Amino acid sequence: MIDEVQKVVISLPATAEYVDIVRLNLYGVASKMGFSYEEIEDMKVAISEACNNSVLYAYRDSDGMMEVTFEIIGDALSITVIDEGESFDSWGAGERQGLHDKNLNEVQIGGLGFYLMQALMDEVSVENEAGKGTKVVMTRRLMKSEEKV
């Protein structure tokens, strides 16, 4: 049987005041899935970093929107944050690389958010293109407790 995908999509202004709304939605979705308090707190940090990149870098001095999608796919929660502003190129010129093999002092300013996302989530991918915005996709799998078996 194929798992049914459940999706929640919210579109909101890319301003700091709205990041809390994203975090509240995350809490609602993740708690319904059975994630622990600690796991949800980790995901809240990761999603805040993704949203803050849109808030701080995407639109500079103009108004813009960000779209956040929560997808429940089997026992995994996939979170996508999309903006249509300027891309924040923390990954180098078009290259996608992880930060796991770098020391903290090697991470450029602004790259710490991506480091945190990778540390707190199971999978993180970033797609950005000049003038077309940034798409951050983060996934966290629900770990089954041994006690529930």
Would you state the pLDDT for residue 145? 62
The mean per-residue pLDDT over the stretch 57-63 comes to: 83
pLDDT of residue 103: 52
Whether 76 has a pLDDT exceeding 90, the answer reads: yes
What are 102-113's pLDDT values in tens digits? 454 554 545 678
Measured CA to CA, the distance from residue 74 to residue 32 in angstroms comes to: 13
Judging by beta carbons within 10 Å of its beta carbon (0-12, 13-18, 19+), is residue 64 exposed, middle or buried? Answer: middle
Distance CA 146, CA 144 (A): 6
Largest Cα–Cα distance in the chain? 53
Q: What is the pTM of this model?
A: 0.80
Say which DSSP state 135 is in.
E
Tell me, which fold does domain 5-142 have in CATH? Heat Shock Protein 90 (3.30.565)
Confidence category of residue 33, pLDDT binned at 50, 70, 90 = very high
Distance between CA atoms of 107 and 67, rounded to whole angstroms?
A: 27
DSSP one-letter code for 148: G
The predicted pLDDT at position 98 comes to 46
